[in-house]
Structure 1
């Protein structure tokens, strides 16, 4: 079984140097894996611990019973409707809640 490595921005066979091609179309290069860099270090707004990786972020959210913000799970879809909340923070109430 061939082993593929990245050389000059292209996935190639480690031994032969031939480009990695898709099974359906041998002339078309296959999609390569995307490597996502880690997140910058920050302090947790919940307990002040330093968070320096995606794994630490997941653990921090889980430890405190939190979830990643997703507008679709918000009943107001991220819009502000509470006048006191908005006034205290210098924000505006969304038009549909005036």
Structure 2
């Protein structure tokens, strides 16, 4: 996008410097059309930039949500592993008692 805009501006500058019309009114109307074209291009790029900024903000919010969910899930997983280890210890103890009672 930026490269395309640079090329268009360079073309406009070249046209202004070496451009065709020799009459003053022709140059004036051509300059005005060039200015209008530049304004249209700038407006388009401004809209595109604003759209990209909105998308970026949404992505940043999404990343924040995902990080919070990951943190929560990591904490829950850690608790589950501790519970599993505790229960496994209880099972091992009960199995040991069962074998001893036979």
TM range (shorter): under 0.3
**Structure holding more helix per residue:** 2
Higher relative contact order (CA 8 A, sep 6+): 2
Highest CA radius of gyration, 1 or 2?
A: 2
- TM-score of the superposition, structure 2-length normalised? 0.21
